[in-house]
Amino acid sequence: MGLKLLAEVSPQDLLVALAELHNHTIGYVKSMALKCAVDLGIPAAIHRRGGSATLAEIASDASVHPARLPDIKRVMELLSASGIFTAKPADQGGSGAVVYGLTTAGRFLVGYRNISPVVPFLTNPLVVSSFFSMSDWLRSEPTTAAAAAGAGSSSGSGSLFELAHGCAQAEMASKDAALNGVLNESMAADSQLFLEVVIFDKGRIFRGLSSLVDVGGGNGAGTQVIAKAFPRIKCTVLDLPHVVGQQAAAGAAGEGNLQFVAGDMFESVPSANAALLKNVLNHWGHDDCVKILARCKEAIPARNAGGKVIIIDMVRGSVLGDSKVSEMEAIQNMFMMYVNGAERDESEWKAIFSDAGFSDDYKIMPVLGPLSVIEIYP
Ligand code: SAH
């Protein structure tokens, strides 16, 4: 059988097949190279030097030991072959010296719209190690809804994270200040960038509101972008005590129209014209999403008085034919499994809206491919 297969496969196909398996199996080396580059501040060093730097300059700026120059070169070569850095000959003279620069993707790791804080979160050992027990988890019976009753405090119960670490991610973050910081800074960086895009492209969704509650709004960095752009909207950030407790206790009013409330979105949501849920529902299963939306519905006025919920999340399957985007959707959807969340297509969203008692004439507004704004009405 084995020999027959070898006879049927051309050497070229065999090479491609082996390379595919190899690249899949140790694809994590790419993640680690990116984490290393960010930890060493390499994108920032290239940026500070005007957008290009030699290996020696990078090594010097990143305090890499001179004896490890050939090793940092390997990191730079991999990240140049995989779309983070550019690599060009330093001169025409064939000296072999290379100058590194930033690709469009690499430019988002520096400067004003810097999403590099996402890297320490996505490569965090607690997050990554959750996936090691996936096959055991898939063979085990899911926690029943009854066992997970009082879902607010049992968030992520029965998740891969819980199986690996004995408690849900939110509970771990409430005790582990380093993990809490990594999580909150990652969400904040992502939100600051994406909310600017949303306001630029779909700003009308916020127009006319006098108040907005950002449910699961993290440390409020994203809400602040809205509060600044729309100074007449009174913005409230609701999140768990370990995320916003200090600001809530201090009554911190960031820009005058921003306040913080520490609480549990499964219990109650502060009243406002509109509730915003950005990257929150993708952390939860269907039933929990229905519960969260039910609390939001109680917090907003009737539809004819302008009440609505704004959801910013992925809608899978809205871009066809772009393999990078399809791969991102599939990877992100599987990634969310570690906290029992999911990335959803329109039919899955529709079922949640309907079960939570919202009208079926929701509006999906694509912003960047599958990354969308959805408006739903009571
Ligand atoms: N909306 C933010 C953060 C998304 S991450 C952003 O897009 O940047 C999900 C957020 O939900 C986290 O900040 C987490 O602390 C919060 N969260 C989880 N469980 C919660 C609960 N029961 N009540 C309120 N917030 C909760």
What's the distance, CA 335 to chain centroid?
A: 10
Q: Could you tell me the residue range of the domain that residue 283 belongs to?
A: 122-376
pLDDT computed for residue 298 by the predictor: 97
Domain boundary residue among 84, 109, 134?
109
Handedness of CA 232, 233, 239, 241 (dihedral sign): positive
SS3 label, residue 315: strand
Report whether residue 248 contacts ligand 1, using a CB cutoff of 6 Å.
Answer: no
**Per-residue model confidence (pLDDT) at position 81:** 96
Q: Strands, DSSP E only, in the chain?
A: 52-54, 85-89, 98-102, 211-215, 234-239, 258-262, 274-278, 308-316, 344-345, 363-368, 371-376
CB 258 near ligand 1, within 6 Å: no
pLDDT score, position 90: 84
Residue pLDDT, tens place only, 66-80: 999 999 999 999 999
114, part of any domain: no
**Which atom of ligand 1 is nearest the CA belonging to 188?**
8
Give residue-wise pLDDT tens across range 10-57.
Answer: 999 999 999 999 999 999 999 999 999 999 999 999 999 999 999 999
Rounded to the nearest angstrom, the distance between the alpha carbon of 81 and the centre of ligand 1 is 36
Are 47 and 78 found together in one domain? yes
120 lines ligand 1 (CB under 6 A): no
Is residue 126 domain-shared with residue 254, that is, in the same domain? yes
User: What is the H or E stretch that residue 183 is in?
Assistant: helix 177-202
Task: Answer yes or no: is the C-beta of 222 below 6 A from any ligand 1 atom.
Answer: yes
Q: Are residues 149 and 195 in the same domain?
A: yes
Query: 138 with 71, same domain?
Result: no
Per the domain annotation, does 88 fall within a domain? yes
Q: Is 307 found in the same domain as 171? A: yes
pLDDT at res. 155: 59
Domain annotation covers residue 352: yes
pLDDT at residue 145, as a whole number: 52
Asked if 232 and 261 sit in the same domain, the reply is yes
Mutate to test the pocket of ligand 1, among 159, 198, 240 (most ligand atoms within 8 A of CB): 240
C-alpha span between 360 and 351 (Å, rounded):
9
In a domain, 115, yes or no: no
CATH number (domain holding residue 128): 3.40.50.150
Q: Which of 109, 144, 179 is the last residue of a domain?
A: 109
Residue 325 has pLDDT above 50, yes or no: yes
Q: What is the pLDDT of residue 174?
A: 94
Per-residue confidence band for 249, with pLDDT thresholds at 50, 70 and 90:
confident
CA angle 128, 111, 173 (to 5 degrees): 30
Residues 171 and 312 in one domain: yes
Domain count, the chain: 2
Q: Are residues 278 and 301 in the same domain?
A: yes
220 CB under 6 A from ligand 1?
no
CA of 239 relative to ligand 1 center, distance in Å: 6
Q: Which residue has the higher pLDDT, 86 or 93?
A: 86
Q: Is 155 in the pocket of ligand 1 (CB under 6 A)?
A: yes
Average pLDDT, stretch 204-219?
95
Inside any domain, residue 355: yes
139 and 283 inside one domain: yes
**Confidence (pLDDT) at 94:** 72
pLDDT tens sequence across 109-161: 998 889 999 999 999 999 999 999 999 999 998 875 545 544 444 456 789 99
Q: Assess whether the C-beta atom of 117 lies below 6 angstroms from ligand 1.
A: no
Q: For a pLDDT cut of 70, what percent of the chain falls above it?
A: 94
* Residue with CA at minimum distance from ligand 1 atom 18: 216
Which of 88, 109, 130 terminates a domain? The answer is: 109
| Ligand 1 lined by 80 (C-beta under 6 Å) | no
Nearest CA, atom 22, ligand 1? 264
> Where is pLDDT greater, at 353 or 111?
353
* 117 part of a folded domain: no
pLDDT for 95: 75
Q: How far is CA 10 from CA 3, 4, 17, in A?
A: 13, 12, 10
pTM: 0.92
- How far apart, in whole angstroms, are the C-alpha atoms of residue 197 and residue 188? 14
Q: What residue type is 338 in one-letter code?
A: Y
240: Cβ below 6 Å to ligand 1? Answer: yes
| pLDDT score at 153 | 41
The rounded mean pLDDT for the chain is 92
Residue 112 Cα, ligand 1 centroid: separation in angstroms?
Answer: 24
Residues 93 and 130 grouped into a single domain: no
Is 299 strand, coil or helix? helix
Q: What does the pLDDT look like over 166-192, one tens digit per residue?
A: 999 999 999 999 999 999 999 999 999
**Co-location of 183 and 300 in the same domain:** yes
- Residue 116 in domain: no
Other Cβ atoms less than 10 A from the Cβ of 70: the count is 8
CATH number of the domain bearing residue 92: 1.10.10.10
Is residue 96 very low, low, confident or very high in pLDDT (cuts 50, 70, 90)? confident
Query: Is the same domain home to 25 and 165?
Result: no
